[in-house]
Amino acid sequence: MGFDTLKPNEIEKRSFEIITEELGGRVLDPQLAPIIKRVIHTTADFDYADQLAFSPDVVAHAKRALRSGATVVTDTNMALSGINKAMLEKLGGKAVCFMSDPAVAAEAKARAVTRATVSMEHAAVLEGSLIFAIGNAPTALIRLNELIGSGAVSPALVIGVPVGFVNVVESKELFIDGDTPYIIARGRKGGSNVAAAIVNALLYQIVTREGF
């Protein structure tokens, strides 16, 4: 069996060509296609072409927030590490995760709730434009939805892609057709890698393709 001999910078390009080929004649919204294809590239799962749900004009909302120096809040250090922070910093933004914060852990233990719940509360008081990239904990999405409902926070974007079985589907559906801009992976699939891939897809559109 032969192998394609490609330079490192050619591998991703060829991967995206294969994704486009395997999507066949399917026509994707040009604003959404880079996000969908990057998630497929990250997971090798073509189901995301159908499972990703987008609120109206969400890419425009997200780009505006990122250009203004938004803070990206994640629910795992894995998602935090996967986000291209160099590109984010070019736009004046940063990425944070409170899951390992000792104060968050202590408060969660005292209240008998998840650290993800408390981390959303800590993030809600941050200043500036906020993008929440949730790839693991449905409790983070549930609490975030409550905080939005009470007026405690008004995210520029919610990326809701937790993976799993308990409360996962239900937590995602809380945002569908809501007023907060969202990118949601319907169903059980998702993960921290998917959350990071979506953030990176948005960053690449601004920094690489638009030459910011």
The SS3 call for residue 131 is: strand
Asked whether the beta carbons of 54 and 186 are under 8 A apart, the reply is no
**CA contacts within 13 A on the Cβ side of 152:** 15
Phi and psi at 105, nearest 5°, equal -60, -45
Catalytic residue from among 33, 41, 47, 187: 41
Q: Tell which phi-psi region holds residue 80, choosing left (phi > 0), alpha (psi between -120 and 50) or beta.
A: alpha
Which of 192, 161, 197 minimizes the C-alpha distance to 52? 161
Q: Decide if 41 is catalytic.
A: yes
Active site residues: 41
